[in-house]
Amino acid sequence: MKVGEKIKSLRLEKKYSISELSEKAKVSKSYLSYIERGIQENPSLQVLSRLADNLDTTVEYLMGQNNTNAFMKPVDEEWAGLVDEAIKNGISKEDFAYYLDFMKFTSRNKQDKQ
């Protein structure tokens, strides 16, 4: 199933009209329609992230990445320290989630090109 098909399926499951989802996710109705119909096949990570949030799913799911555990490795002390430092410097959970989505997105694109 392609990205647009998944978005449309989840939108219908939540009983959102295309107008409702576009408003909630701050994506133009025409752009969302293009995504759902497969005309726009590569929406930005930012758009996917907003859509995923409003559809109670993940960017990984929308992109067809089934193995999200590939990114889950034991956290060593150095990583924990970096996260603590980021929190002390004011990074929000939303910012952190956005950066994480970005890293997963770029990792997937690298895998697709190989």
CB-neighbour burial class of residue 7 (10 A; exposed 0-12, middle 13-18, buried 19+): buried
The CATH homologous superfamily to which domain 3-113 belongs is lambda repressor-like DNA-binding domains (1.10.260.40)
- Give residue-wise pLDDT tens across range 59-101: 888 988 754 444 445 567 787 788 778 888 888 878 888 888 8
Whole-number pLDDT of residue 74 = 56
Most confident of 2-16, 52-66, 96-110: 2-16
For the chain, domain boundaries: 3-113
SS3 92: coil
Whether the CB-CB separation of 59 and 48 falls below 8 Å is answered with yes
Whole-number pLDDT of residue 66 = 59
